[in-house]
Structure 1
Amino acid sequence: MKKLIIIPMSSVALLILLYVLFNLYIQYYLLPQKWNEVKSKALEQDINIETDSFKYHFPNKVIFQKMSVNWKDKLLYISDKSTVLLKSTAVDSIVIPMADISYRHGSTHLQMRAALIFKNKDKPELQVTTLNTKHIINMEYDKAKRSIHARGNIEDFIFPKADITLVKSLYDIKVSDIDLSSSIKANWAVDLNSLQIRYPLIANDIIETEDLKLSGPVHISYNNNYQINDITINNMSLILNDLKSQIDVRYKEGNLLLKATIPETKIQTIIDSIPEAIAGSIKQMKVEGDFKWSGSYNIPLNNISKMTVQSNPIVKDFRVLKIPDNIDVFKLNNSFTYDISSSSTKHHLSIPAYKDVSMEWMDKVSEHTRKQNQYWRDYAQKKASSKPQVIDKMISKTGIDDEYKFVRLEEMSEWIPKAVLTGEDGDFFFHNGINWLTLKQALEKNMEEGEVQLGASTITMQLIKNLFLTQERTISRKLQEAFLVYLVELQAGILKERILELYLNVVEFGPDIHGIYQASHHFFNKDPKDITIGEAVYLTSILPAPSSYYSIYESGQISSSWFKHMKYYFLVMLQRQRITQEQYDKAIEKPPLFYKDLDK
């Protein structure tokens, strides 16, 4: 089973730290601790060590302590139980003028040339330069102070086993109070400047930030085979530009526990601190208000389904002052234009302003009481009275598509919204745009499978993606989506019925088939108000992949296997009391017929 590799941006510094600690443990601690016990002698011939991934070559001018180099479980370690062929020339220092190291993993090939100099027994220096990338390390070790100071620059460095490229960074790493007696203990501080990283899982563009700082105590314990048992990082400070947070990390016996807090911070400071590749157009917003957050994630890596998540956000006095036109969710109650692009055509649609839906319709579809529906209308009216200034207004050069027809909720069959709610977002009227239960289930499934197989998008999230964002499957797009959903549901005064109405009028049902009016006529040659339960369920069933499922229509009829799939929708509608038993019995008798079947 594949495992999903997710490395947040802050982990870049942690990976560098662990890399440094591991190499220093071998090269700086085990050698100097026996400085006065073992005479240094020169090698008579080259040493070559080679495995599937690593290849080490030490020229014959290299001067070592008495030792042997062994390989076990892909980990290099040093012992003095056996010897290599040595001359008897003693020296007062350990020098490695040049060591060539080659690492391969898949398409990644890293070649490094190292110069290691022990000028005295307490303060060795290491310089490593990669031959096929621009990567320089200057490192000092102070045995008396038990400290390490590494600094340098990295360019075009590819992390093994993850599609991550460290495009460019200046870094400064300080590790103090090092204790390697039985485990790795140290206090550490990492400062990354002018960081540029390419990580397609997070964003398609290069992620750039001026300053990323991490610091805190780390404790790593391992067994006799150097397999990690426990990693603890308490009170780790993470500072991204001006955004401060504190993180606790604990890994033990396959269980990962993460705790994090963000102290009360100006929301504008948070927006300004997040890299543009992650924030997108949100970066241009001007806002007021404060944000505070604490959360914990307990993740059994061998049983993701038992993962527990706690999140406690607190937002105070939030208000949007300025917003770019391309993400202006506040306009959704008004008339606006919207561009739909397909592989062959581009349509410029005119969307009319919102008109109140009758309470009788809401009683049939929303599953709320009349009192609850009225409460949300009053809340939306209050929020809608405050609108931000729109900046960077866009002007479309495409003429309005006269063939496009916008359909009001009350002008379509009630089975259309009932079926769509059943298939796409069963609790649409009961959440604020994000269904945390389905989100947790999707995260568990995707982590177990090692890839994105299950989505957790609500109707509001899908609408935001269709109207304001791209279709890219990245973490940054999901973060932008979540923020805009928050604005729609809780700040802009957009009612649920307006969100549902807009979604049904812009969602794709097939190649160049957008909106319920076009879908109803294309598949069944009917106005939306005449669509039956079976026809509404078919249209809902193809929404997860409308272009792929268009082949069902091209085949001329709904197959028995697809109708079996549709019967699940009918059953859920019955269980949710969206249809009666009599309506259910009739619906499962036979599949609906496509329009072209009737034409034959």
Structure 2
Amino acid sequence: MRIPKIKISKKYLKIGAWILGVFLIVCLALGAIAYGKREALLKKMVAKAIVKADRDYDLEVKIGSAGFTGMSTVKMTNISVVPKDRDTLSNIGELSISVRLFPLIFGNVKLSEVKLNDGFVNVVLKDSTTNIDFILKRKKKDSTENTGKANLPEIANNLLNQVLYKIPDDMDVKNMVFRFNDHDTAKLSFATVATIDDGDLKSTINVNDGESTWHVDGLVKPGRKQLSFTAYADGKKLELPYINNKLHAKLSFDTLKTELKNAGYSGDDYKISGSWSVKNMLVNQPRIASNDIIVQSAKLDADVLVGPNYVALDSSSTAYLKNAEIHPYIKYTMGKNKIYELKLNAAEQDAQAVLDAFPQGLFESLDGLKVEGKVKYNLNFHLNTAIPDSVRFSSSLTPVNFKILQWGKTNLQKINGPFVYTPYEYGKPMRNITIGPSNPNFTPLNAISKNLINAVLTAEDPSFFTHNGFVEESIRKSIAVNFKEKKFKRGGSTISMQLVKNVYLSRQKTLARKAEEILIVWLIEHNHLISKQRMLEVYFNVIELGQNIYGIGEASRYYFGKQPADLTIGDGLFLASIVPMPKASMYKFMADGSLKPFMFNYFRFMGNIMARRGLTPPDTSGYGFYNVRLREGLRRYLAPDTAVIDTTVFDDDEEGMPPVIMQDKNKTLFDRLFGGTARKDTVIAKPADTTKSKKQLRQERREQRRREREQENGN
């Protein structure tokens, strides 16, 4: 195909040439005028900036000298920034800045070269103030002026461009020190030398005068919106002792790498693509785990979407833990009613690779576990804060030809036969209890009253015999209730989870222990390692039902002087009621051994549920409420009905108590013969002193709890 020739008249060509020539002449004239006036313009701009800093930010800015040293290079010396009534924020000996001329024509300041010699930035926290308060002050002022609806994609684009434009093509920084002073209790200093040469970044950071040496190297291409940084330390892990001292946590790693791959509009959204990876990251924080957690290799390839009213991690993102991978989707929708969404999708992959991917130290009991087969995982969570009761939650870990080849540190089938159970209180072992026929308090499941079994199952886990360890509806309701109450008020644990927590794990409340609990429950239930009947039998023989009272054998004799088979429906409902708070059991009785009136509603509510399910006959009188009587030998330790008692205070004196056979192999022969300071086998409540006022009793209880806390912290 031939392109037709376009003929342009010479007349129009001459007119165009004249216009272009005039335009060039005007530009040159304006450039010449601007060049001649540039020193005056610079001084005017500097003076304006100093006035603005004082007016808007309460900053005293001083500049010793400022002038041009080239076509577009400005050199300044002796620059100081001091917030009003605060410590000096910054002081720079010499600073040279060059900008690109072409972006400047369109109003964008793009740095081409920066040179800095001898400077410092000093952040000081003192009392309730800092020397960077002016930043928050300005943000607050700006927020009151901006009443229009924010355009998040535009904000993200502008913010990223502002950051990229401030990264020069070339840079030479010498002797720049960043200091941080936290109330004179913790100090940090980072003496930095850094260069950027044609996009190649090299930097050396001297931490705390030789404590360690860090390096941040990478590739910087801000014009292409591409950045890559790698951080590491010489001869040791990169860590900050300040985090350990201030936050009671430890965080360190061999290398940390982050990369910005691309950024730009994708439809109405602004899309930022990047990655983050870490090698041998060590985390130690009491709420996470009681020991070091080591993440050997982790990486996140992330696609972040910024929409008109939301920020999301797109499902195209992939998280890697060693050889295992999962696709996360996280979305936060802003507005009057916020919406939280989370989805996790792990395709079918090797089960051993998934198990090996978990951080070292996370699972103590499962360390060394060997498996074969494959697994896949899906999670879906959606919460609209306007209607929290409609929260959606589903989670499924699906095995494919899954098989356990070798146990880890703990044999998960150990409870199929006799074993020794050690309950803990405040991290300390109480006593050893044999769960088996050799223990006279051990009660087989068929020797436990159906009244108790039905009451506890109704209260704690109605679908125990049909679920696989977890009840999603219970977890969903717990999320809704806890969100509405703004605190942890309701749990979603099944009897399977309670049993695993008590028998296999420590009682430390950490995220690691909860994660291990969930995984052990899944392994037991999905592989049928223990029958439901045996799990329930063990549960009733280890469950805490009072201060130092474990198992139904001990509890039935302690409270009622009965065998477990003889418990009535009222006895069963009472024992079911104390499962969540067993140490407060004695508070529910009046001085004559009958139940306090406030318990009647519980009996009627739970009894009606059991009656509807055919577990007990209907009873309009309260399902045995009036027939429950505390054993007579315990009644004298109850406070009078008008007194306020403290159910957390107990005495070790067991004189006059009928014997309850309990095993305690932790006691030495000396302890058994002479008593000593060892914990006694039974513990009873102290009677309240009725001669004291309620206020005096409350003060004594507070003082007692304070002494107990101090003793625990001291131990």
Q: Deviations over 1:267-306 (max 9, x none)?
A: 1111112123222221311112111223332233676544
Distance 1:491 1:456 in 2: 22
2:524 paired residue number: 488
Cα 1:73–1:556 change in 2 (3 A) is farther
Q: How does 1:502-581 map to 2 (within 5 A)?
A: 502-552=538-588, 557=593, 558-581=595-618
Q: Which amino acid aligns with 2:617?
A: T
Tell me whether 1:424 sits opposite 2:457 in the alignment. no
Residue 244 (structure 1) aligned with residue 325 (structure 2): yes
Cα deviation, 1:334-388, whole Å, max 9, x if unaligned, reads 3444344566742240425xxxxxxxxxxxxxxxxxxxxxxxxxxxxxxxxxxxx
Distance 1:261 1:110, change over 3 A: farther
Task: Please tell me whether the aligned partners of residues 456 and 573 of structure 2 are also in contact (alpha carbons under 8 angstroms).
Answer: yes
Cα 1:207/1:335, change in 2 over 3 Å: same
Q: Which amino acid aligns with 1:410?
A: N
Contact between 1:56 and 1:100, CA under 8 Å: does it hold in 2? no
Q: CA deviation at 1:540?
A: 1.3
Query: Deviation digits for residues 103-146 of structure 1, max 9, x if unmatched?
Result: 86x99967454647565686676666664996845154223443
Query: CA offsets per residue over residues 220-261 of structure 1, 9 Å max, x none?
Result: 468xxxxx8524434112111121222233333233333322
Moved more, 157-166 or 289-298: 157-166
TM-score, length of structure 2 as denominator length: 0.60
Matched letter for residue 442 of structure 2: F
CA–CA separation in structure 2 for the residues paired with 1:51 and 1:215: 45
**2:413 is the counterpart of 1:330:** yes
CA distance in 1, matches of 2:179, 2:387: 38
- Picking from 229, 232, 244, the partner of 1:150 is 229
Q: Return the alpha-carbon distance in structure 2 between the equivalents of residues 65 and 108 of structure 1.
A: 40
Q: How many Å apart are 1:504 and its aligned residue?
A: 0.8
Q: Secondary structure of 2:517's partner? A: helix
Aligned amino acid, residue 542 of structure 1? I
- Aligned-pair CA distance for 1:503: 0.9
Residue of structure 1 equivalent to 2:652: none
1:508, distance to aligned residue in structure 2 (A): 1.1
| TM norm structure 1 | 0.70
Of all paired residues, the percent bearing the same amino acid is 21
In the TM superposition, what whole-angstrom CA distance separates every residue of 1:181-213 from its partner, at most 9, and x where no partner exists?
Answer: 999743312220111112444322221021111
Q: Is the 8 A contact 2:603 2:622 kept in 1?
A: no
**Partner residue of 1:313?**
397
Aligned to 1:73: 139
Distance 2:468 2:184 in 1: 44
Distance 1:162 1:75 in 2: 31
Query: How many matched pairs?
Result: 496
Report which of the two structures shows the higher radius of gyration computed on alpha carbons.
2
Mapped to 1, the partners of 2:201 and 2:179 lie a distance apart of 20
Aligned pair in 2 of structure 1 residues 146, 197: CA closer, same or farther (>3 Å)? same
Higher share of residues assigned strand: 1
Distance of aligned partners of 1:218 and 1:412 in 2 relative to their CA distance in 1, 3 Å threshold:
closer
CA RMSD in angstroms, aligned pairs only = 4.3
C-alpha deviation, 1:561, in angstroms: 2.7
Distance in 2 separating the partners of 1:161 and 1:442: 33
Structure 2 residue 242 is matched with structure 1 residue 209: no
Work out whether residues 272 and 283 of structure 1, in 8 Å CA contact, stay in contact via their aligned partners in 2.
no
Q: Would you say the 8 A contact 2:344–2:380 is kept in 1?
A: yes
> Which of 277, 281, 290 in structure 2 is aligned with 1:195?
281
Letter in 1 for 2:80: D
Could you tell me which residue of structure 1 aligns to residue 363 of structure 2? 279
Aligned 8 A contact 2:592 2:635 in 1: no
Task: Return the alpha-carbon distance in structure 1 between the equivalents of residues 260 and 306 of structure 2.
Answer: 14
1:594: how far off?
3.5
1:119–1:245 distance in 2 versus 1, CA, 3 Å: closer
Of the candidates 58, 79, 85, which is equivalent to residue 45 of structure 1? 79
In structure 1, the partner of 2:259 is 174
- Structure 2 counterpart of 1:539, one-letter code: L
Query: Structure 2 counterpart of 1:525, which letter?
Result: G
Q: Which of 456, 460, 476 pairs up with 2:496?
A: 460
The answer on whether the counterparts of 1:122 and 1:144 sit within 8 Å (CA) in structure 2 is no
- In the aligned structure 2, how far is the partner of 1:487 from the partner of 1:93? 56
CA shift, 1:100, in A, is 3.0
Cα contact 1:330–1:492 (8 A) shared by 2: no
Q: Is the 8 A contact 2:81 2:88 kept in 1?
A: no
Given residue 520 of structure 1, which amino acid in structure 2 is its aligned partner?
S
Q: CA deviation at 1:164?
A: 5.7
Unpaired runs of 5+ in structure 1?
Answer: 1-35, 80-91, 223-227, 353-399
- Show the 5 A alignment for 1:70-109: 71=135, 72-73=138-139, 95=173, 97-100=175-178, 102=180
